[in-house]
Amino acid sequence: MSLKIVIRTPNHLGDCVMAMPMINETREAYPGAGITVLTPENMVELFQNNPGIDELLTIPTPYIHGLLSVFKIKDILTPHDFDIGYILPPSFGAASAFKLAGVEERVGYIVDGRRLLLTKPLPLPTPLNSQHRSTVYFDLLRRGSGAALEPVKPKLFLADEDSHRGMALLAGYDISDIDQYAVVAFRAVAESRRWGTENYRALVSESINRFGLKVVLVGSAQDQAVGEEISEGREDGTVANLAGKTSLRELAAICSRAQVFVGNDSGPAHLAAAVGVPVVVLSGADDPKETSPIASRKRLIYLDHLECISCVKNKCPLKGDEFMRCMKEITVDQVCNSVAELIEEGQ
């Protein structure tokens, strides 16, 4: 009988994309095994049509965190009698659910006091946060399986239907399949990573006037109003505000046809990189050596001369002239020059 393996993904978009190399190569580490992925229901689209996955199990949104999640996930896993479980989230609860579900071999990193819940507890690389998170996930598979695997880039598997739906959305904004466009993710969740509405308005103007590109604005439903501010006065079909209007796969499909993606280190940036789009990443409070999107063609804008750079804080703790320098001192010209370089490379 072949092994039955389950992988518990991270909870957030960027982390799920960074976990793709590990997930996509699990079959290589365990030839002939059945591979199941357990993921939050709002992330399940990422893993559809993946030839390395046999089954998808979803965690309902109310049960992603907290004590109730432990018992819900235990109930989801128990009927399947899994032989091996890889637990990517670093929480005590994630490991507890696998233990209660009777997953025979439980592989994970030693964090959050969960060593005794794992049958194969592995120490995190030292010093902490010294490796890219995608490498950390991938090494869990290499070390857990003992297989000599070579790292690969994140890859999302799109279908023709995804492309058709993405283009249908764009057609509603007068962007056809022959138009060239930039995708811009203009709003970060963390306040410390926001470049500002006026900067993005200027970037949109430059993209249209200097590069002859149309612009697709993307983000969550909560970002829609800011997207309207950025696109105000552009009723000529040059800007489409799709914030909150795409599924993950539609967003990936739209990104896949773009000339370039611009945004901060975010879930959409990781998604764009996973479908092969050149990306310009504005980095400040985040730590690029740990979480920057893995792309074949990328320009990282990062003011490494600042002492406070990569503070990894969601709100800037500084005041006065020092406040948010890592974002405020990134100029529109810097971003546009990076866009120009990527466009020229692709010609």
- Indicate if the pLDDT at residue 346 is higher than 80: no
In the chain, where the domains are located = 4-145, 161-346
Q: What is the pLDDT of residue 236?
A: 86
Q: What is the pLDDT of residue 127?
A: 82
Q: What is the pLDDT of residue 205?
A: 96
How much of the chain exceeds pLDDT 70, in percent?
99
CATH architecture of 161-346: 3-Layer(aba) Sandwich (3.40)
Average pLDDT over residues 16-39: 97
Task: Give the pLDDT confidence of 73-90 residue by residue, as tens digits.
Answer: 999 999 999 999 999 999
Q: What is the 3-state secondary structure (H, E, C) of the chain?
A: CCCEEEEECCCCHHHHHHCHHHHHCHHHHCCCCEEEEEEEHHHHHHHCCCCCCCEEEEECHHHCCCHHHHHHHHHHHHHHCCCEEEECCCCHHHHHHHHHCCCCEEEEECCCCCHHHCCEEECCCCCCCCCCHHHHHHHHHHHHHCCCCCCCCCCCCCCHHHHHHHHHHHHCCCCCCCCCEEEEECCCCCHHHCCCHHHHHHHHHHHHHCCCCEEEEECCHHHHHHHHHHHCCCCCCCEEECCCCCCHHHHHHHHHCCCEEEEECCHHHHHHHHCCCCEEEEECCCCHHHHCCCCCCEEEEECCCCCCCCCCCCCCCCCHHHCCHHHHCCCHHHHHHHHHHHHHHHC
Q: What is the pLDDT of residue 1?
A: 61
Q: What mean pLDDT value characterizes the chain?
A: 95
Q: What's the pTM value of the predicted model, to 2 decimals?
A: 0.95
Task: Give the pLDDT confidence of 264-313 residue by residue, as tens digits.
Answer: 999 999 999 999 999 999 999 999 999 999 999 999 999 999 999 999 99
Average pLDDT over residues 332-344: 96
Tell me which CATH homologous superfamily contains domain 4-145. Glycogen Phosphorylase B; (3.40.50.2000)
